């Protein structure tokens, strides 16, 4: 029902940490807690305090935090077969974590009970009931994660429902139905949620926890809400075990903007994109450009008809206003782009250009010519801006390279750093310098900026942040065109330039030169020699 409040539990710090290549420090976790609380999620699952010293240290540090929206949740499991919860160190760690809320998982699939735990269905129910009762007696609010619930419901519906009923009767206030293998379809989710709600009664909330192995985690979570669930678990950018978990940034967009539910405070929706990029940065990962709502390509338009349409009527090719989630529209310049896309892009440079002018025609033709040679201006806005200014005859070069040489050798068992010599001309003066680096591109980059800093000291603020190479035509073997993308930064801003050539050094030089000229242009630095 529209307007209904849906709780969010973010498991980035626990389930997300199980994603391949992710390793959080304690400070990383505290940073993400601050971010998620600022966004307004209801609960943050911080990890298992019994699993490793890092998680234990996190809970010790997090207890001193003043959170405005979120409640911290400690995660663990039921007691083991033949044991009691008060005797188990792992459950003691849950109690001692200091959180009001704890989440424990237990088995709801008879296969896991009999083949993995190697115990009886009756003992499984006892383990669930005793653990929940004990944690409630310790003053905890208990969430019960019914692991593999949907597989269990298909295999033995009676036992699956008995597990969640046992947890509810023991005092669990939230039953979370888990699609742990990520293979359940939305219609099966609906059936399982309705059966679970009937088993535990209306006084116990139902939650959903989906994995994305079939690409259905978001759809399954939405289906669960329509069937009666009021609590969704996931990770903020969808990271997690195997194919990941429900992507909460997508869920928030879908359910709050499109379906009218309340998941976070309405005034915080514009933080969605920044939070996604911050999460990716902390995780040392690249946010997928195509991620709904928050990705760089979510509101990017390339085809000429698409660009023309969205300029005239935004909703013709955009399902929401990108500013609602803190994202922005962009037009990708390529051989497919039309004049309207070109004009929109160039207006951002402060240049007025008539749609049917010779300048517009010349620029479009130049784009097509350069892309045919292997250039790509998608994601290389700096090179595109310089190309436009050059074609229109309003760009004055800051320098020229009159000569350069690169030297390198290989010693047995070790790589000797490459060396580069370069000669540049600024106005009527020349400067020749040399330097070495980790490979020829790094060496020529260092030598070039070393020479130019004699004339433009501001270049001392600039550094190369990323370097990417792509072979365009692998079938051409060593004669293939190589495209080089270079990302540069001055510590505050970043920009990307592109070069393409059959010679990787030549392509790199083009991109390097553009990166330096772009910085000088944007900072309005002119040659003081003139």
Checking if the pLDDT of 384 tops 80, the result is yes
How many CB atoms are located within 10 Å of the residue 194 CB?
Answer: 14
The band of 476, judged by pLDDT with boundaries at 50, 70 and 90, is low
Output the pLDDT for position 334.
Answer: 54
Across residues 190-204, what is the average pLDDT? 97
Across residues 37-42, what is the average pLDDT? 98
Q: Which residues contact 241 (CB under 8 A, 6 or more apart)?
A: 15, 18, 19, 211
Handedness of CA 370, 376, 379, 380 (dihedral sign): negative
Is 406:440 a contact under the CB 8 Å cutoff? yes
pTM higher than the cut 0.95: no
pLDDT tens digit sequence for 138-194: 999 999 999 999 999 999 999 999 999 999 999 999 999 999 999 999 999 999 999
Checking if the pLDDT of 491 tops 90, the result is no
Six-digit token string for 95: 């109690």
Least confident window among 4-8, 324-328, 489-493, 500-504? 489-493
Please give the Cα distance from 259 to 366 (Å, whole number).
Answer: 45
The band of 474, judged by pLDDT with boundaries at 50, 70 and 90, is low
Distances (CA, A) of 406 to 425, 434, 442, 481: 18, 9, 11, 20
Q: If you search the block for the tokens 């293939």, which residue do you land on? A: 480
pLDDT tens digit sequence for 238-275: 999 999 999 999 999 999 999 999 999 999 999 999 99
Checking if the pLDDT of 234 tops 90, the result is yes
Q: Which residues contact 14 (CB under 8 A, 6 or more apart)?
A: 45, 46, 47, 48, 75
Classified as helix, coil or strand, 433 is strand
Checking if the pLDDT of 443 tops 60, the result is yes
Query: What are the backbone angles phi and psi of residue 341, rounded to the nearest 5°?
Result: -60, -45
Checking if the pLDDT of 475 tops 90, the result is no
Across residues 77-84, what is the average pLDDT? 97
Checking if the pLDDT of 427 tops 70, the result is yes
- Per-chain mean pLDDT for the chain: 90
Across residues 68-77, what is the average pLDDT? 97
Least confident window among 30-39, 78-87, 342-351, 486-495? 342-351
The band of 507, judged by pLDDT with boundaries at 50, 70 and 90, is very high
| Integer Rg of the chain from CA | 29
Is 2:261 a contact under the CB 8 Å cutoff? yes
Checking if the pLDDT of 383 tops 80, the result is yes
Across residues 403-431, what is the average pLDDT? 80
Checking if the pLDDT of 526 tops 70, the result is no
Domain positions in the chain are: 7-264, 300-391, 400-522
Output the pLDDT for position 527.
Answer: 45
Architecture of domain 400-522: 2-Layer Sandwich (3.30)
Across residues 442-463, what is the average pLDDT? 91
pLDDT tens digit sequence for 354-376: 777 788 788 878 887 888 888 87
Least confident window among 30-44, 303-317, 327-341, 418-432? 327-341
Across residues 468-480, what is the average pLDDT? 68
pLDDT tens digit sequence for 124-146: 999 999 999 999 999 999 999 99
The number of residues making up the chain comes to 530
The band of 202, judged by pLDDT with boundaries at 50, 70 and 90, is very high
Query: What are the backbone angles phi and psi of residue 141, rounded to the nearest 5°?
Result: -85, 125
Output the pLDDT for position 417.
Answer: 79
Architecture of domain 7-264: Alpha-Beta Barrel (3.20)
Is 201:168 a contact under the CB 8 Å cutoff? yes
Checking if the pLDDT of 20 tops 50, the result is yes
Give the percent of the chain with pLDDT over 90: 66
The band of 528, judged by pLDDT with boundaries at 50, 70 and 90, is very low
């Amino acid at each position: 029902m529209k307007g209904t409040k849906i709780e969010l539990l973010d498991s980035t710090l626990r389930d997300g940490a199980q994603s391949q290549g992710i390793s959080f420090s304690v400070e990383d976790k505290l940073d993400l807690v601050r971010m998620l609380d600022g966004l307004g999620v209801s609960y943050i699952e911080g990890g298992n305090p019994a699993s490793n010293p890092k998680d234990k240290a996190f809970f010790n540090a997090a207890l001193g935090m003043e959170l405005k929206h979120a409640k911290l949740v400690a995660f663990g499991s039921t007691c083991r077969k033949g044991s009691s919860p008060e005797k188990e160190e792992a459950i003691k760690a849950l109690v001692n974590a200091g959180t009001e809320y704890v989440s424990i998982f237990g088995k709801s699939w008879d296969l896991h009970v009999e083949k993995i735990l190697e115990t009886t269905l009756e003992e499984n129910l006892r383990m669930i009931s005793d653990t929940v009762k004990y944690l409630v007696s310790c003053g905890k609010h208990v969430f019960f994660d019914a692991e593999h619930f949907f597989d269990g419901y298909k295999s033995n519906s009676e036992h699956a429902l008995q597990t969640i009923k046992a947890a509810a009767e023991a005092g669990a206030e939230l039953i979370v139905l888990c699609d742990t293998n990520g293979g359940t379809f939305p219609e099966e989710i609906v059936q399982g949620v309705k059966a679970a709600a009937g088993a535990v009664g209306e006084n116990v909330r139902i939650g959903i926890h989906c994995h994305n192995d079939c690409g259905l985690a978001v759809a399954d979570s939405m289906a669960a809400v329509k069937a009666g669930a009021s609590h969704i678990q996931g990770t903020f950018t969808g990271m997690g075990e195997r194919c990941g978990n429900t992507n909460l940034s997508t869920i928030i967009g879908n359910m709050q903007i499109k379906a009218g539910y309340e998941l976070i405070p309405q005034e915080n929706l514009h933080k969605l994109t920044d939070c996604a990029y911050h999460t990716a940065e902390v995780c040392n990962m690249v946010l997928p450009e195509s991620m709904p709502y928050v990705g760089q390509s979510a509101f990017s338009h390339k085809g000429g008809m698409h660009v023309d349409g969205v300029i005239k009527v935004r909703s013709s090719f955009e399902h929401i206003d990108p500013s609602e989630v803190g994202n922005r529209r962009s037009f990708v310049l390529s051989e497919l782009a039309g004049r309207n896309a070109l004009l929109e892009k160039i207006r951002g440079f402060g240049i007025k250009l008539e749609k049917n002018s010779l300048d517009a025609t010349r620029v479009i033709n130049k784009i097509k010519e350069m892309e045919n040679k292997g250039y790509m201006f998608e994601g290389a806005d700096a090179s595109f801006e310089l190309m436009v200014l050059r074609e229109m005859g309003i760009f004055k070069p800051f320098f020229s390279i009159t000569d350069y040489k690169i030297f390198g050798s290989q010693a047995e068992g070790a790589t000797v750093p490459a060396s580069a010599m370069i000669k540049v001309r600024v106005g009527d003066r020349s400067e020749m310098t040399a330097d070495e680096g980790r490979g020829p591109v790094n060496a020529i980059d260092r030598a070039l900026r070393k020479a130019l800093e004699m004339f433009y000291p501001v270049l001392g603020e600039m550094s190369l942040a990323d370097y990417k190479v792509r072979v365009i035509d692998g079938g051409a073997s060593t004669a293939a065109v190589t495209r080089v993308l270079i990302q540069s930064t001055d510590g505050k801003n970043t920009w990307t330039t592109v070069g393409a050539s059959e010679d990787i050094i030549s392509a790199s030089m083009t991109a390097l030169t553009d990166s330096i000229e772009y910085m000088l242009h944007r900072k309005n630095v002119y040659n003081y020699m003139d």
